[in-house]
Amino acid sequence: MHAVCVYCASNSNVPRSHLDLADAVGAGIAARGWSLVWGGSSAAMMGSVARAARRGGATTVGVIPRGLVALEVADPDADELVVVDTMRERKRGMDERSDAFLALPGGLGTLEELFEVWTSGYLGMHAKPVVVLDPDDHYAGLFEWCRGLAAKGFVNPASLDFLTVTRTVDEALDALRPA
């Protein structure tokens, strides 16, 4: 079963449109017959993507550190909830269970997760798709800055190409599908 890892915001103060986006992604993953791997929280966008995936019939696998079970409201309805000791184990647990990675709008945690799979991908340590779904330019400033780093010689332009940036849910899912 094709497993897609979704990174997204855990903060509930994000705009409603982003919760709807997470919902549409969860529904889309289910409609394609895939499973969801995520950070195991039932809050905010993280909760929306998981609930929508399950509503559509997808299996959901959450990976969450013990210390965040209460803070991030670990999802009691996850088909599998893997409780680990550290953030590093969380990322490894998510990586190992996933065939492709999708970042939705998020904060520092989402950035941290995205950068790890992006950098390990362009260094050839994995060949799984890494996709960003950015319908409203949440990440525009970041990517502009990264292009500036390439122009100044700090970043190989091919590293930027390893990431697929999309505007719609369907484009993102197409970019995530099995080769």
E-assigned strands of 8-161? 35-38, 60-65, 80-84, 100-103, 130-133
Residue with nearest beta carbon to ligand AMP: 109
Q: Which is nearer to ligand AMP, 3 or 22 (CB)?
A: 22
Give contact residues for ligand AMP (rule: CB under 6 A).
9-11, 39, 41, 68, 72, 87, 90-91, 106-110, 112-113
Which helix (H) or strand (E) segment holds residue 157: the answer is helix 157-161
Q: Measured from the CB atom, is 99 or 113 closer to ligand AMP? A: 113
Return the amino acid letter for 120: S
Angle, CA 86 vertex, CA 1 and CA 133 arms, to 5°: 50
Please report how close the Cβ of residue 11 comes to ligand AMP at its closest, in angstroms. Answer: 5
For the CB of residue 171, give the shortest distance to ligand AMP in the complex, in Å.
Answer: 22
In terms of Cα–Cα distance, which of 22, 23, 53, 24 is closest to 37?
53
Q: Which is nearer to ligand AMP, 57 or 141 (CB)?
A: 141
Specify the residue, 43 or 165, whose C-beta has the smaller distance to ligand AMP. 43
The token pair that represents 175 in the structure block: 């970019």
